[in-house]
Chain A
Amino acid sequence: MSDMTLGQGLNTGLRQSLADDDKVVLLGEDIGSLGGVFRVTDKLQSEFGPHRVIDTPLAESGILGTAIGMAWRGFRPVVEIQFDGFVQPAWDQIVNQVAKMHARTVGRVTMPITVRIPVAGGIGAAEHHSESPEAYFVHTAGLRVVSVSNPQDACTVLRQSIASDDPVIFFEPKRLYHVKGPVEVEPLESALPMSRARVVRPGHDVTVVTWGSHVAGALDAAEAMKDDGVSVEVVDLRSLSPWDSETVVESVRRTGRVVVVHEGPRQGGVGADICSVVTERCFADLAMPPVRVTGHDVPYPPAKVEGHYVPDMDRVCYGIDQALGRVPFETFTPATSTEVAA
């Protein structure tokens, strides 16, 4: 057990996976001698060789399509997409090919491909460098989608993703790359399964469900609300597809109130599905409608105004206040904000 950054946790996870299975190969742009633009693959090429850690031409569809062919041959490719917005050129290969190959071949061909994607904003980046595209992938059958919030999960969930025979979209919040925490290379057999959520702070008044970089914001909000006499339970969802409805439902049945926080746009976002299921399964237990605190339905804005897009602690607190009925319920629809709460 040692303290390391989330980026180093990923690096540790990759190193362990490369050592565990000689069919694991890393593919991506600038991942070799440079070690990736975020240094997640630092020193791995010199350690394992250029046939295990492979710099590719600059073409995301080409990278994914090549990874598919390698998976056909029995390899276990781990693809690095340099930035979230750059995954879109690989759209067809991920959605039409990777996701469907196992079903198309009636189970004869597996696609154990992990697609690592630095995700979300808050780092003052250029256009297409701050996207939260998780909902696209969650909507696609055949993919598993995860997002990590701390260095230990970065290491373990990445190893679980690589070991999975299913394709996994693996989101790495850029904002957390340099956040430190303890990391242990734990046995995967005894680790929490990657599809399971984790209650990271117990509480009894309201449940906040979130993932990735917003887990920290939710914990800050919970601490702030504590001073206000409110006990907030925080659930780190970890896996977005499938998502762990049992853990969420169990929590909401106790608290009767739920706030879902994510950075991706509101419309058709993952939060919409979570709120639907919570409503279906906790209808009688809910004291208030589920609340969503999300990015706006706009293109990710320029860096100087991204603070008005990315949900911060104050907006999470405001969402909690809505769930508690302390402020008017905001529906973000043409309906007036007060008629719902009334």
Chain B
Amino acid sequence: MPSTTDPRTKDDLSQAGESASSADTAHGGARDHVPAGWVQRDTENGARHLDATPDDGGVDHTPVRLIDPDGTRHEVPELDRWLDDVDDAAMLGLYTDMVAARRIDTEATALQRQGQLGLWPPMLGQEAAQIGSSRALREDDFVFSSYREQGVAYVRGIAPTDLLRVWRGAAPSGWDPYEYRMAPMQVIIGAQTLHAVGYAVGLLLETATAGSGAHGGIGVSRPDSDGPDAPERTSATISYFGDGATSQGDVHEAMTFASTWSAPTVFFCQNNQWAISEPVDLQSKVPLVERARGYGMPGVRVDGNDVLAVLAVTREALHRARAGLGPTFIEAVTYRMGPHTTADDPTRYRDRSDLEEWSGRDPIARLAAHLRDRGVLDDDAEAAAQQTADEVAATMRAGVYAVADPDWSTVFDHVYAEPHAVLDAERDAYGRYLAGFADNDTQEAAR
């Protein structure tokens, strides 16, 4: 049901990690606080292009940031206004979440190497993007994700074992999507963005904002202001996808539909620089965030390794969505430190120096440095977070060992929602075929 509570105090942050962070506005002033030298190699061409068109307002695509890699914290009013409630405990919570997410990820990689999983897509390095954004969500928001969002799933409360059922090949999906308000992972690149838009349109249709005129968009109503105090009318949806997905037609169509209908949705793009072996500059000649302008929606480029900045920009985007201001495109600039999946070999296509460079921007080390500076994190607290993460991983491992192979007949389950005589007959026939082995089995056992 639509929520109209204060976005600054009622989101998921209050439940787990208990921290807050800063965010960026669509065209905020945070760029001043980004250290010189942050240049995405994939965006150099685009940056030059933009420099050559000063009439567009001299758009600066430096990702907005609140915490530098060395832990230095900047005050950015446009972002900090979304973080009033983020106290030390909340910050420590975000830290613990990230440590746990990384621990889940490394444990799952180990489980794959040990033959317990068929495949695993590591998210190492993307913890801030996933924890910061998902902690901005409220319980009634709905997530449509790709296949690498284990950090998001963890924050949504999904048991890590359930996350692994699919990768073990033991189930088509692992949890009740309506219970956790998160759809099962989507493997077709970008397809889920449209589902998030459709769900969001459904939210609009349930409200009085619908039916604005035969030629108008579905959600054309506008609130009085776009600040944190603007009244919220619906919940929101968020879609997660990567830099490679931005080339997909479905993502373009999703942004078109969402924009013209003012759908309450957020496009959260984790630009981790690589689509398997293809660098992001093969997907776009301009910074990905530039796409937003063409669809008529705000775009935000955020340092995806700064959990506080990600939290803030996502909170604002979600608030805009809930308030009827339409969709927002967020480009979280991060880096996939691991392979695309456990079947991938990134040494064939990228330089070790890249990895070293990005190691210096590690999202967990960054927040840890900041929290140590503030005296919030000490050795004991760090050990406590690690212990929490270890327990999560141990529970997950034990859970995976306990996952039984499904019965053969489940192959035929849920293909249709209503009775289907032909499929029933196929199932029965295959059952009779299998039953034909029963006598042999009995004889074998008797010998």
Is A75's beta carbon under 8 Å from chain B? Answer: yes
B211, A65: Cβ atoms closer than 8 Å: no
CB contacts (< 8 Å) of A51 on chain B: these are 205, 210-211, 218
Instruction: Let me know if B202 and A72 touch, CB within 8 A.
Output: yes
Selected from A75, A96, A166, the residue in CB contact (under 8 A) with B416 is A166
Chain B: minimal CB distance from A211 (Å): 17
Q: Which residues of chain A are within 8 angstroms of B253 by Cβ–Cβ distance?
A: 57, 59, 61-62, 65
Asked if A304 is at the interface (CB within 8 A of a chain B CB), the reply is no
Per-position 1/0 for B170-208, Cβ under 8 A of A: 011100111000011000100101111111111101100
B422 cross-chain contacts in A, Cβ below 8 A: 242-243, 245
CB contacts (< 8 Å) of A45 on chain B: these are: 214
Flag whether B11 is at the interface (Cβ < 8 A): no
Residues of B within 8 A of A33 (CB): 214-215
Stretch at the interface among A99-107, A181-189, A325-333: A99-107
List A residues 76-110 near B (Cβ within 8 Å).
89, 92-93, 96-97, 102-110
Decide yes or no whether B256 CB sits under 8 A from chain A.
Answer: yes
Give Cα A59–Cα B252 distance, bound, in whole angstroms.
10
Choose one: B198, B215, B216, B421; the contact of A70 (CB below 8 Å). B198
- Chain A residues lying within 8 Å of B194, measured Cβ to Cβ, are 61-62, 64-66, 68-69, 93
Task: Tell me whether B115 is interfacial, beta carbon within 8 Å.
Answer: no
- Sort chain A's interface into a size bin: 35 or more
Closest B residue by C-beta to A67: B198
Once the chains are docked, how many angstroms separate the CA of A93 from the CA of B193? 11
CB distance from A61 to the nearest CB of B (A): 6
**Also in contact, A72 and B418, with CB within 8 A (given A66-B257, A104-B184, A106-B173):** no
A72 to B181, CA, bound (A): 11
Residues of chain A within 8 A (CB-CB) of B198 are 65-73
Q: Are A106 and B418 touching (Cβ within 8 A)?
A: no
B195, A142: Cβ atoms closer than 8 Å:
no
B388: interface (CB < 8 Å): no
Contacts of A69 in B (CB 8 A): 144, 194-202, 237
Q: Residue A319 at the B interface, CB < 8 A? A: no
Q: Tell me, in angstroms, the Cα distance from A256 to B46 when the chains sit together.
A: 71
A165: interface (CB < 8 Å): yes
Do A65 and B203 have beta carbons less than 8 Å apart? no
Are A105 and B184 CB-contacts (below 8 A) given A62-B257, A68-B194?
yes
**How far is A97 from B196 in the complex, measured between Cα atoms in Å?**
13
Within the complex, the shortest CB–CB distance from B203 to chain A, in Å, comes to 7
Q: Determine whether B413 belongs to the interface, using a CB cutoff of 8 Å to chain A.
A: yes
A59 to B258, CA, bound (A): 13
Report the bound CA distance from A112 to B212 in whole Å.
26
Q: In the complex, are the beta carbons of B415 and A142 less than 8 A apart?
A: yes
Question: Which of B198, B211, B250 counts the most chain A CB atoms within 10 A?
Answer: B198
User: Within the assembled complex, what's the spacing in Å between the Cα atoms of A220 and B447?
Assistant: 68
Contacts of A235 in B (CB 8 A): none
Chain A residues within 8 Å of B201, by CB: 66, 69-70
Instruction: Say yes or no for B414: interface residue by CB 8 A criterion.
Output: yes
Q: Which residues on the B side are within 8 Å of A49 (C-beta)?
A: 210-211
Q: Are B418 and A166 in contact (CB under 8 A)?
A: yes
CA distance A72 to B176 in the complex (A): 13
Cβ of A14 within 8 Å of any chain B Cβ, yes or no, is no
Q: How far is the CA of A217 from the CA of B117 in the complex (A)?
A: 56
Let me know if B250 and A65 touch, CB within 8 A: yes
- The chain B residues found within 8 Å of chain A, CB to CB, are 142, 144, 171-173, 176-178, 183-184, 188, 191, 193-203, 205-206, 210-216, 218, 237, 249-250, 253-254, 256-257, 260, 413-418, 420-423
Q: List 25 A-B contacts (CB under 8 A).
A: A46-B214, A50-B211, A50-B213, A56-B257, A57-B257, A62-B254, A64-B194, A65-B191, A65-B250, A66-B197, A68-B198, A69-B199, A70-B198, A70-B205, A73-B198, A75-B205, A97-B191, A102-B414, A102-B417, A105-B172, A105-B177, A107-B414, A141-B415, A144-B416, A242-B423
The 8 closest A-B pairs by CB, nearest first: A69-B198, A65-B194, A73-B202, A62-B253, A51-B210, A66-B198, A107-B414, A165-B417
Q: A69-B194, A69-B197, A72-B183 are in contact. List 10 more A-B contacts (CB 8 A).
A: A50-B214, A66-B197, A70-B205, A73-B206, A93-B250, A102-B415, A106-B172, A107-B417, A166-B416, A242-B422
